[in-house]
Amino acid sequence: MFKTGSILGLVALALLTAPAEAATKAVKFGKLVDGSGRVQENVTVIVTDNKITGVSAGAPPAGAEVIDLSRYTGIPGLIDAHTHLTYGPDPLLRGGRSNAVNMVLGQDALMKTLESGVTTVRDMNASEYMDISMRDLINMGRWTGPRMYVVGCGLRATRSRYNPAGSALGCGEGNGADEFARAARQQIAAGADWIKIFGSTGSGEDVTGFQTVTYDEMKAAVDVTHAMGRRIAVHSYGPTGVHDAVRAGADSVEHGADLDDATIAEMARKKVFFVPTIDHNRYYFDNAERFRYRPGAKDNLTNYIERNLETTRKALKAGVQIVMGSDAIYDMFGQNTRELEWFVKAGMTPAQALASATTTAARMMNMEGQIGSVAPGYFADIVAVEGDPLKDVGVIINNVRWVMKDGAVVVDKTRK
Ligand SMILES: [Zn+2]
């Protein structure tokens, strides 16, 4: 469109790419909880483009757009470490719609996620690299959504119903260490930020936790992933998959019930992050009839929730780093932070629960200093809540009024 070297072209390009909003914003808060749990009163957060450049009690800089949220408490943009944003809104219709349609319908899930105060997600499996497409559209500014870090196709042992004998392996599938190493390389080559392994059965109404991926297969994928500078998560409903994942060097384990004390101690020692995703089974329980689950499914879900919660309680006592992951799927988006209530039930203070979705999660994401706090140098991901989040975790879950992501206001319910 523009000829190389054309001055007019360069000017036009500069105009086209100029930000529509003021480059500097001054956001005033009555109270600010900065991520370390420290509370500051009557402060102004200075945002320049997409970064926080100052937090002080001083007057806003001249020319800055002032956003007065002094009625509210500011907290860091939250991190949901386990989502499924590309599956579409309804499990019964999922197969009847194309992947592309499900991805486009995911825009609603993206907005609901932002409305819950979540500005960063780790999305944990997709077909046809829709997660990578979604992430890229958001990063291009074409779609509005949280920062996405994605895994592409989760690695798993061959599922025969999708792979008749002799046919090629499906995306992410493998059998044996070599094929798991290859599958991990493939996902990274495709653009995955993380690698995920489905290490056991368990999903939806199925709460069995039979290990499906061997230690050697996990270890091969872990080694490739780490050699390429990335991190790896292992899904396991049952204890043996978690045990082998920890031994193999996984960075995070997802779900997990009935973990023995030795495995929990090893998780604490090796600083393996635990993402229990307790609340997603509550969502399945609530929707069992709508999703046409088999008789008995609700009892199984209740039973798993209790064991999952008990393991979380033990892990917390043992000093394991616990991270908020909703496992939000279908139309669960908007409930992303209900996990925090389970964490309080497991023994966390509201401040510890907030850390599980901010500072601890940022450490897991290897993004310390970038997300999870409201401080100079961090991305301008900020949430305003009504009430005191350090007294009542329900304030974080139910009272989000305003959300800034990457310096742009993406949710504003302050005038309602
Ligand atoms: Zn999941």
Tell me the pLDDT band of 413, cut-offs 50, 70 and 90. Answer: very high
C-alpha distances (whole Å) from 283 to each of 209, 234, 255, 290, 302 are 19, 22, 14, 11, 11
Cα of 154 vs centre of ligand 1, distance in Å, is 10
Tell me the pLDDT band of 8, cut-offs 50, 70 and 90. Answer: very low
Tell me the pLDDT band of 37, cut-offs 50, 70 and 90. Answer: confident
Cα of 15 vs centre of ligand 1, distance in Å, is 43
Supply the pLDDT for residue 371.
Answer: 98
Spell out the SS3 assignment of 345-409: HCCCCHHHHHHHCCHHHHHHCCCCCCCCCCCCCCECCEEEECCCCCCCCHHHHHCEEEEEECCEE
Of the candidates 263, 262, 261, 230, which has an alpha carbon nearest to the alpha carbon of residue 245? 263
Cα of 120 vs centre of ligand 1, distance in Å, is 16
Q: Is 187 in the same domain as 270?
A: yes
What CATH number has the domain bearing residue 56?
Answer: 2.30.40.10
Cα of 285 vs centre of ligand 1, distance in Å, is 16
Q: Is 68 in the same domain as 94?
A: no
Q: Is 56 in the same domain as 82?
A: no
Cα of 19 vs centre of ligand 1, distance in Å, is 36
Q: Is 222 in the same domain as 91?
A: yes
6 domain-assigned = no
73 domain-assigned = yes
Cα of 398 vs centre of ligand 1, distance in Å, is 23
- Domain span at residue 64 reads 20-77+373-412
Cα of 306 vs centre of ligand 1, distance in Å, is 18
Locate tokens 């706090």: which residue?
A: 373
342 domain-assigned = no
Supply the pLDDT for residue 58.
Answer: 83
The answer to whether the beta carbons of residues 380 and 402 sit under 8 Å apart is no
Tell me the pLDDT band of 35, cut-offs 50, 70 and 90. Answer: confident
Cα of 139 vs centre of ligand 1, distance in Å, is 23
1 domain-assigned = no
Cα of 140 vs centre of ligand 1, distance in Å, is 26
Number of domain units in the chain:
2
Q: Is 393 in the same domain as 322?
A: no
What CATH number has the domain bearing residue 148?
Answer: 3.20.20.140
Supply the pLDDT for residue 304.
Answer: 98
- Report pLDDT digits (tens) over 99-158: 999 999 999 999 999 999 999 999 999 999 999 999 999 999 999 999 999 999 999 998
Q: Is 388 in the same domain as 265?
A: no
